[in-house]
Amino acid sequence: MIAFNNLNKAFESRIRLGVMSILLVNDWVEFATLKEMLNLTDGNLASHITALEKLNYLQVRKQFIGKKPNTSYAVTQAGRKAFNDHLNALEQLIKAREG
Amino acid sequence: MIAFNNLNKAFESRIRLGVMSILLVNDWVEFATLKEMLNLTDGNLASHITALEKLNYLQVRKQFIGKKPNTSYAVTQAGRKAFNDHLNALEQLIKAREG
């Protein structure tokens, strides 16, 4: 069960899978965009983002656009590596199904 | 984010992914075998199996081998379908990485 052991607990949640998938292929995505793409509440998204930030998988950029605060996120190099490892492990798990 | 919405919350946990992956390709697997393959404690494995049973994704068979009780599990048809749908959604998510 190599694939199983290589799954990363940090990415178990569907929401984190969603966030990381979006950020893997997009540079700097706004909070509001993530929220809309994943159809989440502020609180739910924020708590998962905070967890991923603490793990150093995400970086945050806060700025003002005019007078409006604007927060965006990007994956870190560590986050990209960890998530790719996780997807590779999932890929192995899926392949196992096909025999 | 079609793939994201098709992910099944019941299979978020690594342990459940592991259990279902094993049962998808093996008929009737003993509790002790699952425990060993996934390197889990009794309690941890039991709680996830109970959850999957309640969802009607697993069926249980209790018998005696000599005087020893023996419990085995198999996926139900509903479990097979649900888990395959989940793996298909994960597959889409993985493909998205490749652009």
pLDDT at B99: 60
Q: What is the pLDDT of residues B16-28, one digit of tens each?
A: 999 999 999 999 9
Banded model confidence at residue A1, pLDDT cuts 50, 70, 90: low
Spatial distance between the Cα atoms of A8 and A5, rounded to a whole number of angstroms = 8
What is the residue extent of each domain of chain A?
A: 2-93
The interface predicted TM-score (ipTM) is 0.83
Is the Cβ of B14 closer than 8 Å to some Cβ of chain A?
yes
Scan residues 27-56 of A and list those with Cβ closer than 8 Å to B. 37-39
**Span A10-43, pLDDT tens digits:** 999 999 999 999 999 999 999 999 999 999 999 9
CATH number listed for the domain at residues B2-94? 1.10.10.10
Residues of B in contact with A1 (CB under 8 A): 18, 22, 37-39
The Cα of A10 is separated from the nearest Cα of chain B by a number of Å equal to 10
Q: Does A95 touch chain B (CB under 8 A)?
A: no
Collect the ranges in chain B with pLDDT lower than 50. Answer: none
CATH number of A2-93: 1.10.10.10
The helix (run of H) or strand (run of E) holding residue A72 is strand A68-75
Cβ–Cβ < 8 Å for A69, A77: no
